Structure 1
């Protein structure tokens, strides 16, 4: 009796639903210049400056921000919360 299942059999036997493929958390990485101005920030809408996007996220999700050394940090929030922030600030 062989209980070994090939990788292809395992993948085809358990289809992944849309909700399982879509991550529940969104990570927004931020990098700063030495003068504390935002250098890069992820998922910034085109109509908002990088600095304003950082301020907006700090206001909308202050508990979700984590500071790292070297002028870096990130926001970690639930996708639903992030989608709400985006929709409220659509152009």
Structure 2
């Protein structure tokens, strides 16, 4: 039986320059599937997910956050992703 769960991701700009446009990537370990997102557009190919800003949250000033929500589904295990990249650079979880 597939289960559904809402999730949220927050991107915090810890740098000194604004981020103008963002793309957050991660992989699901257990075959989870994104079904819906708000505050971001997304694509998923196999386990790899890419979430990209929408028009109103693409610029993140230093010490400011942007967040988006999603609903995912899975069967069996639901291991939390552990590796993320923001605009191609590794970032925290």
Q: Return the structure number with greater strand share.
A: 2
- Bin the TM-score by the shorter chain: under 0.3
- Report the TM-score when normalising by structure 2: 0.28
User: TM-score if structure 1 supplies the norm length?
Assistant: 0.28
Higher helix proportion (structure 1 or 2): 1
User: Which has more radius of gyration?
Assistant: 1
